[in-house]
């Protein structure tokens, strides 16, 4: 009897993990399919700027349920920066990699506040995202 209970618990855990992993893969695939990743850091920053402008317009229009599209695209673009940043110093590369985690967190927060139709929190999260992006950009000499 004990053996059956442990098998059932183990199977339940395996299924739960598998379902969670497949949901994450679907989410990542959904956003990265729509996000074109430029070949250079400069191209990435241009795309990040464009998506940030789109995100601001979306928030200003009050289309909060659409915020996740731009937020996750920005997350994906920022996540691609290290591969295109080999000319950065090791210190700058570390700062960029650290910032990627915060951008991902802010994308999740933007998604949650947008889904909740919480305009104040969405605007606040966007302001934080803008600050983090400005800080990340400081590691690049792209003139902006």
Mean pLDDT of the chain: 83
- The CA distance from 114 to 99, in Å, is 22
Confidence of residue 35 (pLDDT cuts 50, 70, 90): confident
CATH classification of the domain holding 40: 1.20.120.290
pLDDT in tens, 53-109: 999 999 999 999 999 999 999 999 999 999 999 999 999 999 999 999 999 999 999
In a domain, residue 2? The reply is: yes
Q: Are residues 29 and 42 in the same domain?
A: no
pLDDT in tens, 5-30: 545 444 444 434 434 433 343 344 34
In a domain, residue 144? The reply is: no
DSSP string, 106-120: HHHHHHHHHHTT-HH
Q: Are residues 29 and 62 in the same domain?
A: no
Domain count, the chain: 2
């Amino acid at each position: 009897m004990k053996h059956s209970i442990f098998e059932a618990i183990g199977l339940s855990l395996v299924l739960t993990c598998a379902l969670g992993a497949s949901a994450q893969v679907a989410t990542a695939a959904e956003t990265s399919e729509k996000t074109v990743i430029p070949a250079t850091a400069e191209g990435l920053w241009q795309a990040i700027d464009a998506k940030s402008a789109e995100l601001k317009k979306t928030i200003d229009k009050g289309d909060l349920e659409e915020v996740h599209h731009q937020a996750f695209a920005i997350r994906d673009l920022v996540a691609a920066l290290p591969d295109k940043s080999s000319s950065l110093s090791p210190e700058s590369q570390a700062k960029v990699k650290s910032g990627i985690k915060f951008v991902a967190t802010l994308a999740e927060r933007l998604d949650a506040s947008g889904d909740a139709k919480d305009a104040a929190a969405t605007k606040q999260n966007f302001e934080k995202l803008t600050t983090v992006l400005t800080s990340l950009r400081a590691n690049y000499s792209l003139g902006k």
